[in-house]
Amino acid sequence: MKNICVVGTGYVGLVSGAGLADFGNNVICVDIVKEKIEMLNNGGMPIYEPGLKELVDSNVKAGRLKFSTDIDESISKSEVIFSAVGTPPGEGGEADLRAVWAVAKRFAKNLNSYKVFVNKSTVPVGTGKKTYKLIEKEKKNDIDFDVVSNPEFLREGSAVKDFLIPDRIVVGTTSEKSVEIMKNVYKSLYIRNNPFVLTNVESSELVKYASNAFLATKITFINEVANLCDAVGADVHVIANAMGMDGRISSKFLHPGPGYGGSCFPKDTMAYTKIFKEQGIRSEIVESVIKVNEKQKELVVEKLKMFIPDLKGKIIAILGLSFKSNTDDTRESPSKVVIKKLQNEGATVKVFDPIAMKDFKIDFPDLNYQENIYDTIEGADGLILMTEWNQFRNLDIEKIRNLMKTPIFIDTRNIYDPSEIRGYGFKFANSGRSKI
Alpha carbons within 13 angstroms on the beta-carbon side of residue 416 total: 29
3-state secondary structure of 65: strand
3-state secondary structure of 166: coil
Distance from C-alpha of 88 to C-alpha of 98, rounded to nearest angstrom: 10
- The region, left, alpha or beta by phi > 0 then psi within -120 to 50, assigned to residue 326 is left
Q: 15 to each of 6, 10, 153, 239, 278, how far by Cα in Å?
A: 10, 8, 11, 36, 32
Catalytic residue among 5, 29, 229, 264: 264
3-state secondary structure of 333: coil
Which H or E element spans position 259? none
Q: How many distinct helices (H) and strands (E) make up the chain?
A: 18, 14
CA terminus-to-terminus distance, the chain: 57
5 tagged catalytic: no
Q: Where are the alpha helices (DSSP H) in 166-200?
A: 176-185, 187-190
Active-site residue list = 264
